[in-house]
Amino acid sequence: MDFRGIIPPVITPFKDDGAIDYDGFAAMIEHLIAASVHGLVVGGTTGEYYAQTKAERIELMRLGREVINGRVPLIAGTGAIRTEDCIDFGLAAREHGADGILMPAPYYAVPTQLELINHALAIDRAVDLPIMLYNYPGRTGTRMEREFFERVGRSPNFAAVKESTGDINQLHMLARDFPHIRLFCGMDDQALEFFAWGAVGWVCAAGNCLPAEHIALYQAVAVEADIVKGRRIMSALMPFMRILEQGGKLIQTVKYACELQGLPAGPLRRPLQPLFKDEKRELEMTLRTLKQVMAQIQADHGADESEGGDGNVITLNA
């Protein structure tokens, strides 16, 4: 599988009674494919997998593959505490035609690096699919260190890493010392830095509600190597990215932003609760300003193209 580009972890819409809105989930997938994302994650953190039963998670994998129908790659999340459960989710992903799996460290268990290596290799041997590692110690309690990457990187299945430590030195290490493991941005407020250091994509929660804006940054820096344009786009995105990464309510924020776009988000599953009224107002103002600034960047870019560019203008949401 060619891990690359903008790959949102799809939200899971719920009904008012807490049941999964499967029609809404299918509609979210269609919305993202129409926006030209490069792949989708089903069963990621933004999809609230931790608040779902095993049967619900597997059904979302199955439905995701059915709706996607080969139009973009599907990566299925395998996050769990027990190695055996992770293997079960990986085998279900393979059975239902996923193109790869997303593998975080087991949360709460806090394994050593050697224990984490053995955990990852056991999943690799059992599932035998391309793997995107997910290094997010803020949620799992365990950090994937150099020793881990040196060992698991010997297997060709460990093809990519979503790096979410927030440590710029970790970004430098992965970019310089592990070029055979494709680097993906996993810290939204550091996306420009990731692309400047050669990241090939971005697994972005807010890609659910702002896919075109995320694609615009990827196109500018990772494809066109235009760091000046990329810096303008990232500057426009940054107030929203700060809310996501520093506000402590990432999933709540993404779901409300989707709701503002008229997308089928629905409520959250407990223990999460909706945003407060003042948080909603701040988000609404932030998104309104973001759209205005992005429209100006689009207009300037269009003017530049008309003066001798290649005419390949990126269309942003209005």
**What Å distances lie between residue 70 and 6, 24, 244, CA to CA?**
16, 20, 30
The catalytically annotated residue of 49, 162, 218, 255 is 162
Cα–Cα distance measured from residue 242 to residue 235, given in angstroms and rounded to the nearest whole number: 11
The catalytically annotated residue of 134, 136, 218, 256 is 134
H or E segment to which residue 123 belongs: helix 113-127
Q: Are strands 182-185 and 201-202 parallel, antiparallel or unpaired?
A: parallel
Whether residue 49 contacts residue 77, with contact meaning beta carbons closer than 8 Å, is answered with: yes
**Of residues 143, 152, 58, 131, the one with CA closest to residue 96:** 58
Cα–Cα distance measured from residue 224 to residue 231, given in angstroms and rounded to the nearest whole number: 13
Please indicate whether residue 162 is annotated as part of the active site. Answer: yes
Whether residue 79 contacts residue 49, with contact meaning beta carbons closer than 8 Å, is answered with: yes
- Give bridge partners of residue 75 from the DSSP assignment: 41, 100
Whether residue 113 contacts residue 143, with contact meaning beta carbons closer than 8 Å, is answered with: no
Residue type at 189 in one-letter notation: D
Please indicate whether residue 50 is annotated as part of the active site. Answer: no
Residues marked as catalytic: 134, 162
